[in-house]
Chains A and B, each alone.
Chain A
Amino acid sequence: MLHVRLNRPLFFVSEPKAWKLGKKTPLYDSHAVAGAKIVDFGGWDMPLHYGSQLEEHHAVRQQAGSFDVSHMTVVDVAGAGAASFLRTLLANDVARLKDEGKALYSCMLNHDGGVIDDLITYYLGPDRYRVIVNAATRDKDMAWMNEQAKAFDVVVSEREELAMIAVQGPEARERAAGVLDDEWRDKALALKPFYGLEAGDLFIARTGYTGEDGWEIILPADQAADFWARCVDAGIRPCGLGARDTLRLEAGMNLYGADMDETISPLEAGLGWTIAWEPGDRQFIGRGPLNEMRANKERRQFAGLVLEGKGVLRDHMRVVVEGKDDGEITSGGFSPTLQRSIAMARLPAGDYERAQVDVRGRLLDVRVVKMPFVRNGKAQIEIQKGEKR
């Protein structure tokens, strides 16, 4: 029966074999001791879950969970040309970052307007920025950034010596605050959403990928295992990449490689809001093609789907919209919070609320909804009576 139709090749490639060593984060031993199921993710041996992905998901929605995200790539950008460089490199505009610590979500585009990666940039101080890019895209991201940096007075340095832990959930900040040094606790708790703080060896930001409150904490690799253990002691439950995926899906947050890639523009991935069109004379990479796409009223839209009956929507399933071209599910799965299947999909243009999805040869009814599905523990979509898993 293990003809498992893998849902997300990038994500759940296989169980690592002893002879094929993946890269290990500074927390690998902590995961192994805790009995994590380890999978290969973008060349890294990462925890998928520690027993139950569903329980980990609920822990984050209801209390607090921790994620090892040390596989993600931390890149510092510094120099007199740092702002000019990032204003050319990114579709969003770092000139919007007026306050120190403020974060900005953006896409990094190729010359065709396709997405090379999505990332977060923090404004650390004059001429200093910190950029967090994905793990699986590290090599091409670094190559692209280094190439573009040549024209600017800027130093781009990857910080491989740093680990990264996300603590997420309504009680995550409160519980993790006890793990911080006294000196930084109040300042960290005072952070507004989407702000970060350099706290000695640590960088603490009130950001995340779950739709819950929480922090993402960047710290020296040699402090990571101790910090992680103290979070566990403080009542924060270790969570794997599996729960991270269902949480971000419920939160309507895109996954690079599934929801967008180099052939897809932000406009067709629900990320139009991350493009800073003004000032109009800022020539960021990909702007020309984006301008043309923006004028095209027939371009595909990106929306959420909710399955009304039983079953599970999966990546790449065909979406049938009456009188229009087919759409496609880019990320699908089961929502533990809503207890039914949900998906993100790229769909033909138009205003409609109903569609059908081809689930292994059967057309099942879905509702087309605006995302997110869940935010801060609560359903953001109307769950209709009679809908049941």
Chain B
Amino acid sequence: MSELPGDLTYTNEHEWLRQEEDGTVTIGITDHAQSALGDLVYVELPEVGQDVDGGGEMAVVESVKAASDVYAPISGEVVAVNEALSDDPEKINADPYGDGWIVRLRPSGDDGETMSPDEYQTFLDELED
């Protein structure tokens, strides 16, 4: 199991969030999630400018195995989407915390519930049991 990046926070839906300096938040799925899904073959992205609600469906990632919803961990406006995923969804497999980012939101409300890297690691360990 690879080390979790320390500068991110995590959700129990296996998403990661990075607070950017301009106040926006970048979101992707964790290494655990990409590994569980297997090779990704299609990503359905939201529109830039669209408002998403915390807990609502924000994107869909499809692997050879199955389709999964990616829920917005926080409410906000979509300010950027990773267009490169349209042609290369496997970037999420190769680099889930980097080139495989999915959307960037400008938060519009309260922060959702997130976990520190240590807390997420504990959460993962409990899933294994």
Contact = CB atoms under 8 A, between A and B. Distances in A.
B62 interface: yes
A88 to B, nearest CB: 40
Contacts of A7: 65-67
28 contacts: A1-B29, A1-B69, A2-B14, A2-B33, A3-B71, A4-B36, A4-B66, A5-B68, A6-B66, A7-B65, A7-B67, A37-B35, A37-B38, A49-B38, A53-B64, A54-B39, A54-B90, A242-B65, A311-B44, A311-B62, A312-B42, A312-B62, A314-B66, A334-B64, A341-B42, A360-B60, A360-B67, A389-B42
Interface in B46-72: 60-62, 64-71
B127 to A, nearest CB: 10
Contacts of B39: 52-54
Interface in A4-54: 4-7, 12, 37, 48-49, 52-54
B74 to A, nearest CB: 14
Contacts of B33: 1-2
A310 interface: yes
Nearest to B60: A360
Contact of B42 (A5, A6, A334): A334
B41 interface: yes
B77 interface: no
Interface residues of A, number: 26
A207 interface: no
Contact of A242 (B44, B64, B90): B64
Given A2-B13, A2-B14, A2-B33, A334 B41 contact: yes
A121 interface: no
B81 interface: no
Given A2-B13, A2-B36, A12 B65 contact: yes
Among B14, B37, B61, B65, find the residue whose CB has the most chain A CB atoms closer than 10 A. B65
